[in-house]
Structure 1
Amino acid sequence: MRQYGPVTDLPEDTELPEYAERVLAVAELIPPGRVMTYGDVAEWLGEGGPRQVGRVMALYGAAVCWWRVVRADGVLLPGHELRALEHYRAEGTPLREAGRSADGHVPRLALARARWDGSGVTPPT
C-alpha cells in the first residue's frame, strides 16, 4: 500500500484502508478543470457508494485534489467554498454563476460541462 504524508490528524506513517487508497487514486486521475461526483467515483470503482466516498474524502482527501470530487448537486463543499473556488478558477473548471437569491452568491459547478467520465483510464485496483 502507498503511504501518504500527514493527512488531517493521522500520524505520518499511517497506512490507509484499501478502499481509501482506491478512492484517492481516482481523485488523482481527475484532470484539472474536471470533476467527478462522490457517486461517480463509487460507480467507476464498482464498489461502495457516495457516502463511503464522501467519508474517505473527509478523512483523507487533503492528500489529493479534493476539490475535484464533488456533490451531485454542484454545490461547493460547505466550509471550503472559497478555497475550492480558487482552485476551480485557476483550473478553468466550468461554473454556473449564483443567482442573487443564492446564499453568499457563491457559484455552483456546471456539472454538465465539468463532469469527467474517466474515459481512456483504467480504474485503480
Structure 2
Amino acid sequence: METPEKCKSTEFDKAVAAVLTSLRSGDIMTYGEVALEAGFPQAARAVGQFLSRNEGFPWWRIVNAQGRLAPGHERKQAKLLRSEGVAVTGAHITKWARS
C-alpha cells in the first residue's frame, strides 16, 4: 500500500492518503467521511476521483452515504469486504453501524 509521502500531489491528496492508510481490515467509511476526516468536508466526489487515479489504497472499504458499493465494481468489492468479515447483501453493506 502507498504511504502518504508517496502521494506527492496536493495537500488534499496527502490528507486523503493518510485517512485511507489508517483504515484496518473490516473498517468501512463513506466518501464523505473520508473527505471530512481529511479536512475537506465538501470533497466527497474528489475522494472517489482520488481512488480512481491512485492504486494501492483500500478502495473497497469506501462506500457511498447509503452503504452502496462502487458501481461497476460491486462483485469484487463485495468479495473483498466479505473476506474482511463485513456483511454485504447485493450491492450494499448490511448491518452497518455508523458513528
1:59 is aligned, of 41, 44, 53, to: 53
Aligned residues: 95
Give the conservation status (yes or no) of the 8 Å contact 1:33–1:93: yes
Give the conservation status (yes or no) of the 8 Å contact 2:19–2:34: yes
Match of 2:28 in 1: 35
Over the matched positions of the two proteins, sequence identity in percent amounts to: 32
Deviations 1:72-92 (A, max 9, x none): 121111111111111111100
Pick closer, same or farther for the CA change 1:22–1:46 going to 2, 3 Å. closer
Structure 2 residues without counterparts, runs of 5 or longer: none
- Pick the structure with greater CA Rg: 1
Pick closer, same or farther for the CA change 1:107–1:55 going to 2, 3 Å. closer
2:69 is aligned, of 72, 76, 87, to: 76
Q: What is the TM-score when the length of structure 1 is the normalising length?
A: 0.65
Which stretches of structure 1, 4 residues or longer, exceed 2 Å deviation after superposition?
Answer: 15-18, 110-113
2:96 is aligned, of 112, 119, 122, to: 112
Pick closer, same or farther for the CA change 1:111–1:54 going to 2, 3 Å. farther
Q: What is the TM-score when the length of structure 2 is the normalising length?
A: 0.79
